[in-house]
Amino acid sequence: MEEMFKINYGVIVLSKKEIESGDFNILHFGGYEHTPTESDISNIREEALYDKDFELIQEYDDDDIIAIEADESTVNEYKDILSQLMKEEQNETLWN
């Protein structure tokens, strides 16, 4: 199974209030083959807030949500998660 593109970088969406409390989760992750631009970072934030699949605006204030470039360990963690999901999907396809 070949990846559509290689994930080398990532952008994560976080809640500023959760960061300040010391207990936060990554609300959204976007993977990139090349270094994300400021526009990419802004777009991931907007997607997380307003896209009907995420709609974080339902739970968070607009000014509470930030998007930042992910560190290498976070990118690797998400690459592992995505790889596992792709394997599971491929196995389901083979058995159906």
Each residue's pLDDT tens digit, 51-84: 988 888 889 999 999 999 999 999 999 999 988 8
What does the domain layout of the chain look like in residue ranges?
9-95
Give dist(CA 14, CA 69) in Å, integer: 11
Structure tokens at 84: 């596992």
Q: Residue 92's pLDDT is what?
A: 67
CA-angle at 77, arms to 35 and 53, nearest 5°: 75
Average pLDDT, rounded, for the chain: 89
Q: What pLDDT digit, counting tens, does each position of 14-58 carry? A: 999 999 999 999 999 999 999 999 999 999 999 999 998 888 888
pLDDT band at 1 (very low <50, low <70, confident <90, very high): very low
